[in-house]
């Protein structure tokens, strides 16, 4: 709160938070003023650059005598940067007693109005007339009560604005993260950079427009490369197939004695291989089976080969046991038993 009219030295304000009163000087006061301040219990606050003490009737009277003016201007002359209109209901016993409106008029000054011509004092919480200059119960000036209500309303408005800003910030951050996630899904892994996680929604959109052209160009080059590789593979396969058909033609005429069918010209590699395997099996079935040589057991049984005893092969058997002098022959050993 300031002295009436333009700001002059000194001025004083009420500190409702600490229940105090503060006096401000534009320059260092005279020694006489400093002596009066100290003798009345005022102390210097270096941080706020003011003299302060607890609010009381004596301190208010001293401040008024030093400044020569009330602590605030009348309601009709208040000049402030608070909201241009404040309207609220006042209750007593759970019922609405009056609706108070504080509004800036055409000349830029606040005007006070109430449906019951009453307002609750900011300090003693009692009703008094809005036409009174101060509360008749505690002596609180009307301008102090009005300023308190404006400040409280402004504080609520500031808190609401802060919450709105926080909510808007959270919403924008969620949209930004969603845009970053969509961008990460669109971009190939080799194109993604860690710094893109900090991009805004507009930056993500701009980046996608640029990268989209690069991706389309890269996809076009990849398609052309795959088509070229496909053509090369088809060409190599055709060369191998033609060589396989030529080999099939030669083997049919020379090895298997079959006539060449022009339909074989269109055979694939697998068909050529299948046809050769089938002809090979047919040829093997038509070849007569050679007689297998007799086994060693058959030779011994039929006496047409060497005899065996205890797993040892004996050669040079004459076949005439009556004149044979060998004692390790199977027949000889069986006769001994």
- Residue among 71, 69, 90 at smallest CA distance from 15: 71
Q: Mean of the per-residue pLDDT values for the chain?
A: 76
Q: What is the mean pLDDT of residues 90-113?
A: 70
Collapsing DSSP to helix, strand or coil, 85 comes out as: strand
Mind listing the pLDDT tens digit for each residue in 78-89?
444 455 666 767
Mind listing the pLDDT tens digit for each residue in 268-304?
888 888 888 888 888 877 766 566 676 766 766 666 5
* pTM tops 0.85: no
Q: What is the mean pLDDT of residues 45-56?
A: 87
Q: What is the mean pLDDT of residues 16-24?
A: 83
Q: Which residue has the tokens 């006539």?
A: 259
Helix axes 269-286, 201-254, angle to 10 degrees: 30
Is the pLDDT assigned to residue 8 strictly greater than 80? no
Which ranges in the chain belong to alpha helices (H)? Answer: 31-39, 57-67, 142-186, 201-254, 269-286, 296-302, 330-336
Q: Which long-range contacts (CB under 8 A, 24 or more apart) does 68-71 make?
A: 68/3, 69/3, 69/4, 70/4, 70/141, 70/143, 71/1, 71/12, 71/13, 71/14, 71/21, 71/141, 71/143, 71/144
Q: How far apart (Å, rounded) are the C-alpha atoms in residues 259 and 215? A: 57
């Amino acid at each position: 709160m300031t002295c009436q009219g333009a700001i002059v030295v000194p001025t004083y304000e009420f500190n409702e938070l600490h229940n105090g009163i503060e006096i401000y000087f534009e320059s260092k006061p005279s020694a006489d003023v400093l002596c009066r301040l100290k003798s009345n219990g005022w102390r210097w606050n270096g941080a706020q650059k003011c003299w302060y003490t607890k609010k009381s009737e004596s301190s208010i009277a001293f401040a008024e005598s030093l400044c020569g003016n009330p602590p605030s201007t009348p309601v009709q002359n208040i000049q402030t940067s608070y909201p241009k209109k404040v309207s609220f209901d006042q209750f007593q016993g759970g019922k609405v007693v009056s609706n108070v409106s504080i509004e800036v008029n055409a000349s830029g000054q606040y005007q006070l109005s109430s449906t019951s011509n009453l307002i609750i004092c900011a300090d003693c919480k009692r009703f008094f007339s809005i036409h009174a200059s101060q509360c008749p119960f505690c002596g609180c000036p009307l301008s102090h009560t009005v300023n308190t209500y404006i400040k409280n309303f402004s504080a609520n408005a500031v808190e609401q604005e802060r919450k709105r800003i926080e909510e808007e910030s959270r919403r924008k951050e969620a949209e930004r993260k969603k845009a970053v996630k969509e961008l990460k899904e669109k971009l190939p892994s080799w194109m993604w950079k860690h710094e893109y996680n900090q991009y805004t929604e507009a930056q993500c959109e701009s980046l996608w427009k640029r990268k989209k052209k690069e991706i389309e160009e890269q996809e076009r080059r990849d398609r052309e490369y795959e088509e070229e590789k496909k053509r090369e593979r088809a060409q190599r396969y055709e060369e191998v197939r033609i060589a396989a058909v030529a080999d099939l033609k030669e083997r049919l005429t020379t090895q298997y004695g079959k006539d060449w069918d022009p339909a074989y010209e269109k055979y694939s590699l697998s068909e050529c291989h299948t046809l050769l395997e089938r002809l090979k099996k047919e040829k093997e079935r038509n070849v007569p089976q050679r007689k297998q040589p007799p086994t060693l057991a058959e030779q011994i049984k039929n006496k047409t080969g060497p005899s065996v005893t205890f797993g040892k092969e004996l050669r040079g058997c004459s076949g005439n046991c009556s004149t044979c002098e060998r004692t390790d022959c199977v027949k000889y050993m069986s006769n001994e038993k």
